[in-house]
Amino acid sequence: MIRSVRGTLAAVGPEGAVVEVGGVGMLVHVSAQTLGELPAVGGQVLLETHLVVREDALELFGFSSGAERELFAAFIGVSGVGPRIASAICGLTDPDSLRQTIQLGDPKPLQRATGVGKRTAERLVLELRDRLGPVIETARPAARPVVMGGPAVEAHEALLALGYTGDEIAWALADAPDGGATGELVRHALGRLRRG
């Protein structure tokens, strides 16, 4: 399973983003939410990913946070919801707002996503309302997307190895000083995560 992709954003088009990794351009389908958080073409990007295996294709879907990837995985676990529809739902708003919508039992906002009708939206709410768990954070500011390079990427990978999620790491590094060394960034993030 490909869990993340890091590289240079080579292009953005209707099919998604092309991320160049080691000289290979990987097509990564992204939600509208993640698309809006990508850097300019030529910038460095780190995406959390989910590989969808079908009989005739392998499709890679990318997300700016672990929370968005988790929602995507939950959505495709619902009968009748494929990866393209799940990605469209993820693109409606941030992951916490989507969780809250589902937990409130309101299917109407989900119907704004392409391919989601009344029945599908109701099924999503019915099946996921109790499975998603509580909204992770409400008091924290919106996390900066995980689009980094150099020491920031190394700090991100070190924090992943310690068991933190992509979303927690993005929040913890959101106010990190620019130009910090890897160790400084990790210490800053750990301090912020401990304080909550």
Q: What is the pLDDT of residue 146?
A: 39
The pLDDT, as a whole number, for residue 150 is: 65
Q: Which CATH architecture has domain 4-63?
A: Beta Barrel (2.40)
Residue 128 main-chain phi, psi, to 5 deg? -105, -10
Q: Where are the domains of the chain?
A: 4-63, 66-128, 151-195
Bridge partners (DSSP) of residue 188 are none
Cα separation of 151 and 181, whole Å? 6
Element (H, E) at 155: helix 151-161
Read off the pLDDT of residues 55-112 as tens digits, 9 standing for 90 and up: 888 999 999 999 999 999 999 999 889 999 999 999 888 898 899 889 888 899 999 8
- The first and second tokens of residue 54, run together, are 């079908």
User: What pLDDT, on a 0 to 100 scale, did the predictor assign at position 135?
Assistant: 56
Tens digits of residue pLDDT in 143-192: 444 333 467 777 777 777 777 776 677 777 777 777 778 788 888 888 88
**SS3 at position 55:** coil
Structure tokens given for 155: 């700090």
Phi, psi (deg, nearest 5) at residue 112: -75, -15
Class of domain 66-128: mainly alpha
